[in-house]
Structure 1
Amino acid sequence: MPFYRLRFPVKLTFAILLALFIGFEFNLETPRWAVMTAAIVAGGTAFAAGGDPFSGALRHRGMLRIIGTFIGCIAALAIMIATIRAPVVMLLLCCIWAGICVWVSSLIKVENAYALGLAGYTALIIVVSLNASGSVLLAPQFAVERCSEIIIGIVCAILADMLFSPRSIKLDIDREIDSLLVDQYRLMQLCVAHVDKDEVDKCWAGLVRRTNALSGMRTHLMMEAGRWHKIDPRLRVLHTLSLTLITQACETFLIQNNHSDYVPPQFQLFFEKPVNNVADIHKRMKIMRRVISVSGSRNTPNTLSSWVVAASHYLLLMKGIHSNSRISRLEEEVLNADPVVKMRPAETRHALVNGVRTFVATAVGSLFWLWTGWTSGSGAMVMLAVITSLAMRMPNPLMVAKDFLYGMIVAIPLGSLYYMVVMPNTQQSMLLLCLALGAMAFISGILIQRRQIGTLGALVGTINILTLDNPMKFEVSAFLDNALGQAIGCFVALLVILLIRDTSKARVGRTVLNRFMYAAVSAMTTNTVRRKENHLPALYQQLFMLMNSFPGDIEKYRLALTLIIAHQRLRAADVPINSDLSAFHQQLRHTADRVISASSDEKRRDYFARLLAEFDVYQQKLQQYQAAQSVTEPVARLAMVLKKYQQTLIRV
């Protein structure tokens, strides 16, 4: 195994052992919270990254965990103060809180949702733990201790990351933006040559995924160090430029389906020459700008000239990203060109289902625990809260629940070995205890960065059932209760996910496609402020979500991309300015919005038919006001697409 592959296991082992040593050295009440936090922060980030995580990612996750813990502790104290005399109401309010947190976290950015999910189950864990111990009056002390132990675990994880050569993402970003531009040029070569559409689909889909990943890399870089602040605006605009290059290339391909002579011969010959690196593209752009200047705008296809402008801006910003130099005047003009518009989330029903799942699972578990007095109930409740809060936000919550279940099943024999054999023989020596737990952490680290299913759950579950209290008490019956409660909690969470099915997938797909339609329709405007708004990042974010929700459904991707192209072309079209057209634009937007918000297929069909009829009237108005061909052609193309795919847009 290469040395760099051992860096993360060493880092994870150091973080866990440092948290363990501090917990026992300073006589913390429950050192296992610090140890578990160090394992979750370091291990969870590595599992998501599929290897040694970048330092910015680890610090970001650590900060979110601190924020979520504080919010959860405050919520737990507020609920307990208000309902101290009614335990049932107290637990139900915590379940409602957890459900609301999961619901809201499903609507916000994935990288920030972790804090809200953690806030939801932290409050429930505090209340459950205090009820199980019968010391509700010690809630403030327990909340402070839990926050302190979690902060210690996070600091240990970050310190381990800093000591063992933190992996900076800057070099990866430099390589990726270079490689991305080369592949953008190759996509344009495929589109100009008008090769098989399956080959083009594969190429642009890969570029969309890589461009979206570049946005996540920017977030990690900003968390890594303050010296990269000049790169942040450049990467934001570079993300938009990359999407623009994809859009212009694909529009070139689509136009050639109906106009085979769209690209002049001199440009076809130019794009036949292969490129190997960014330096080659830089030379080509200089030549292209001269050719376009000589040929004139009438003899140059709009998509090619727009593509060259976007590629030139890309090269300008890329140089600044590599050097991290001061932002120049030319860069300032590119950075401030268009304000980026954010789009409302489309997964509102999916988020509601997630919240309901969390509430139902935790509420049923709470009532069953209070009714039966089951000694393992607190452990089961903790796992129910954790899984339903964290798994629901994932693209495949069922697999996350299975991962936890497999891990907890493995944790029972592994924990038994440590609890009944290893730890009783090492409790007199801190060194032997560190060696025993360090061996488990090191092996787990190797498996975690390989994304071995169940590994992270087994590590966290084993640490949890070992208790690691100060002083240690080896009570086999209590150990078996905790282990059984964990496994049953995971199993019940899996059942809840299976029984409360999420049927919102088709609805989300239809909503997303209709939003693409609305974006294309709303691009027809004479409002200069609206025309300057940059919807491209939001539209491609929705496209990326569509690709994740419907993997392999290339027809949906093509329709979405066609509507994005229509939006960009109509946004740049020189629509005649008069009050009649402005009023009709507003009417078109109103009808398109009613298509999205319609409560039934029948109403949606009626509104869509009205929209198609209004498009016919609008095309007549454009002829009446002698609109240019650059306006009438994209409008006619959009109307044709809407008629062709009306069944898909009405019912997915």
Structure 2
Amino acid sequence: MGILAIAPQHLRFAFKLSTAVVLALFVGFHFNLETPRWAVLTAAIVASGPAFAAGGEPWSGAIRYRGMLRIIGTFIGSIAALVLIIVMIRAPGLMLLVCCLWAGFCTWVSSLVKVENSYAWGLAGYTALIIIITIQPDPLLTPQFALERCSEIVVGIVSAIVADLLFSPRSIKHEIDRELDALLVEQYRLMQLCVAPADGEDVDAAWGNLVRRTAGLEGMRSNLNIESSRWASANRRLKAINTLSLTLITQACETMLVQKARPDAVSDTFRELFAEPVETATDVHRRLKRMRRVLVWTGERDTPETVYTWIGAATRFLLLKRGVIGNTRITGVEEAILDEEVVIKPVSAERHHAMVNFWRTTVSCALGVLFWLWTGWTSGNGAIVMIAVVTALAMRLPNPRMVALDFVYGMLVALPLGAFYFLVIMPATQQSMLLLCISLAVMAFFIGIEVQKRRLGSMGALAGTINILVLDNPMTFHFNQFLDSALGQLVGTLLAFVVIVVIRDNSRERTGRTLLNQFVSAAVSAMTTNKARRKENHLPALYQQLFLLLNKFPGDVAKFRLALNLIIAHQRLRTAPVPVNADLSAFHRQLRNTADRVIAASSDDKRRRNFKQLLDELEIYQQKLHLWSAPVQVTESVQRLTVMLHKYQHALTDS
């Protein structure tokens, strides 16, 4: 009954994982690979990793993309290992320590790049360490070992991809279509709350939910992009929809601020229009048609700019949404929307966090190397490999300690499970390839179900059990070697866990302050007369940073409101008609340089001095705006930004 209950959610992927493991095992032995274990382990990790992250069967393309990253990471790591051996072959001890630095460097890079690409860099770090440790008795075999390892990994990846295709992977397109409709309805409801205006807590909950859903839709777009090339047009539209969704959120929240300053800013006509409830995207479409008719009658001058901009962005959202759902050819009108602005990529605010990750990986690997050299333990190399694997894979995730704990629990499970297979199952199947495949398929099937439930220890148990089983060619059964390898895995994961606990990540507050200062810098940089700079769209980057702030400080409403106000200030200043002249242009560059120095300051004292200088320059800038007869729209926006920075200067400068 338990298996039948989970059939709709988990059984198909469990069969998929079993097929990938069996296919890699069969191909590895059929072509007489030196260590088919690597092919089986690769197939299991490539297939199960996305399932563990998704909490169910991964979407189409996820396994292929992870496999591609694994190939890239393996080749980078193999090349790095060859270079290190060629340069430092005469000093093997020093070469091992330099390789630990390489593993730390790769972890540092993986902490700064996009999350979906970090796997390749983490893999590159510990691949080099695996190769250098394995060839210590005979370094001249390095090219051969690196080539064998790459070929075995390619076999495992191809096996995982074939298994994925055999079991008809799920397309995320239908989920995207449903989410687009739901997102448009939620955007309209947020605008209803802001026009009313509703209670602040209700608005905070609504916009926080929309920020998360918009970020989730962007993640879905990434999955759709790697699923198939036939979704190229839909992918382009979804990129623009991401910007439009963030624009709708910003304009809605700014409408609420305008309402608080001037309660009569929104006319009764629009209040009545927004007061009508909506249930579906079709309802929103009807309301937008009525609002556009009202705009034609009343004109833009009698409508608040935020409401007018919101209606325009919602109309473009609706147009692109239809194109995504139908996956039709992009029209001329859509092309104009898609090419309207240049989207700017965000700058990482987690540099201190990345440095902590560097030291965690480097120190733990170096301790493992020193322990191995000091004791001479035959399985010390296995412990070093597990240290590198755990630290490289754990650092990029939100909770590295829990990831390391997952590996510890997994290795504790792998010890008795692996012993059962090693002592009972595998000797009994020694004469039958079919029985060996069936036995491993059964194990992968049940662990695959647990992986989808995100059971603590499931991923570690799968990788650890396969790693300690004798799946070499030819197979030998020496219990001492098995026990040594299992204990090496367990000691390595425990040492990695201890290092992660001891070297604490104290970067949370610093990252939060850096994020807030980046919002300040974005608002300041919006004050420009450069046409190319004014066309730059920073909104996706700013909201990506805001989403990171939400994850770092869940429940801190004050930080969220400050960040949102700074994003609103950025958008307001970006469209403000700043007078064009050389004096103001030169002062804009000065303001941007000062804002950059605030972010780059290495101490609180320097940060306070630079921030005070920025406030003084903003006062001078306001005088220059009056001197050059800037419109009220510009002077009021700059004044509001200055008042906001004065009010929150301690939160923006103190640790």
Aligned equivalents of 1:319, 1:502: Cα separation in 2: 45
Q: Deviations over 1:228-271 (max 9, x none)?
A: 11122111111111110111111111222222222111111101
Q: Residue by residue, what CA displacement relative to the aligned partner does 1:97-151 show, whole Å, maximum 9, x if unpaired?
A: 11111111111111111111101100101111222xx333222111111111111
Instruction: Give the Cα separation in 2 of the matches to 1:264 and 1:633.
Output: 22
- What residue number does 2:651 align with? 648
CA distance in 2, matches of 1:43, 1:560: 37
Q: 1:230 aligns with which of 208, 229, 233?
A: 233
1:116 corresponds, among 110, 121, 125, to 121
Q: Report the counterpart of residue 412 of structure 1 in structure 2.
A: 415
Aligned to 1:53: 58
Question: Residue 107 of structure 2 contacts residue 357 of structure 2 at CA under 8 Å; is this kept in 1?
Answer: yes
Runs of 4+ in 1 over 6 A off after TM superposition: none
Conservation of the 8 A alpha-carbon contact between 2:50 and 2:58: yes
Matched, 1:90 2:75: no
Does residue 35 of the first structure (1) align with residue 40 of the second (2)?
Answer: yes
* Conserved 8 A contact 1:517-1:563: yes
In structure 2, how many angstroms separate the alpha carbons of the residues matched to 1:624 and 1:267?
A: 38
Distance across 1 between alignment mates of 2:140 and 2:617 = 67
Task: Write the distance in 1 (CA, Å) between the matches of 2:258 and 2:644.
Answer: 13
Residue equivalent to 1:69: 74
Cα distance, 1:486–1:584 mapped onto 2, change above 3 Å: same
Give the unaligned 5+ runs of structure 2.
Answer: none
Task: Show CA shifts across 1:382-428 (max 9, x none).
Answer: 10110111111112111111111111111111111111112111212
**1:477 pairs with 2:480:** yes
2:208 is the alignment partner of 1:205: yes
Count of paired positions? 650
The DSSP-based 3-state class of the residue aligned with 1:474 is coil
Q: Deviations over 1:573-602 (max 9, x none)?
A: 112223333233223222222222222212
| In the alignment, structure 1 residue 18 sits paired with structure 2 residue 18 | no
| Corresponding letter in the other structure for 1:407 | G
Moved more, 377-386 or 636-645: 636-645
2:520 maps to which residue?
Answer: 517
Partner of 1:378: 381
How is 1:293-312 mapped onto 2 (pairs within 5 angstroms)? 293-312=296-315
Aligned-partner residue type, residue 57 of structure 2:
D
Mapped pair 1:283 → 2:296: no
Distance 1:557 1:440 in 2: 46
Within the candidate set 614, 617, 637, 1:634 is matched to 637
Residue 600 (structure 1) aligned to one of 598, 603, 609: 603
Residue 4 of structure 1: how far off its partner (Å) = 4.6
Q: Return the offset for 1:41.
A: 0.5
The 1-side partners of 2:214 and 2:262 are apart by: 30
Q: Does 1:101 align with 2:106?
A: yes
Unaligned runs of 5+ in 1: none
TM-score, L = length of structure 1: 0.97
**1:60/1:220 contact within 8 Å kept:** no
Q: CA deviation at 1:303?
A: 0.6
Equivalent position of 2:619 in the other structure: 616
Instruction: Kindly state the Cα deviation for residue 44 of structure 1 after the two structures are TM-superposed.
Output: 0.6
Percent identity between matched residues is: 62
Deviates further, 362-371 or 267-276:
362-371
Q: Distance in 2 between matches of 1:226 and 1:618?
A: 50
Following the alignment from structure 1 to structure 2, what is the Cα–Cα distance between the partners of residues 55 and 64?
16
Q: Distance in 1 between matches of 2:580 and 2:88?
A: 63
TM-score using structure 2 length: 0.97
| Counterpart Cα distance in 1 of 2:346 and 2:454 | 33
Matched, 1:313 2:312: no
Q: Report the alpha carbon displacement of residue 14 of structure 1 after superposing the two structures with TM.
A: 0.7
Deviation at 1:174, TM superposition (A): 1.1
- Note closer, same or farther for the CA distance 1:250–1:485 as it changes in structure 2 (3 Å cut): same
Measured on the aligned residues, the alpha-carbon RMSD in Å equals: 1.4
Residue 558 of structure 1: CA displacement? 0.9
Please give the residue correspondences for 1:536-551 in structure 2 after superposition, counting only pairs within 5 Å.
536-551=539-554
Partner Cα distance (2:413, 2:644) in 1: 54
Confirm or deny: 8 A CA contact 2:470 2:477 kept in the other structure: no
Q: Aligned equivalents of 2:594 and 2:167: distance in 1?
A: 58
The aligned runs of 1:537-616 (5 Å cut-off) are 537-616=540-619
Equivalent residues of 2:422, 2:470 under 8 A apart? no
Residue type of the alignment partner of 1:17: V
Q: 1:468 aligns with which of 471, 475, 483?
A: 471
Specify the alignment match of 1:242 in structure 2.
245
Q: Which amino acid aligns with 1:533?
A: E
More displaced, 218-227 or 78-87?
Answer: 78-87
Does the 8 Å CA contact 1:211/1:239 hold for their aligned counterparts?
A: yes
Query: Which residue of 2 is the match for residue 491 of structure 1?
Result: 494
* Residue 191 (structure 1) aligned with residue 207 (structure 2): no
Which one-letter code corresponds to 2:331 in the other structure? Answer: S
Q: Distance in 2 between matches of 1:439 and 1:350?
A: 41
Aligned pairs for 1:452-463 (under 5 A) are 452-463=455-466
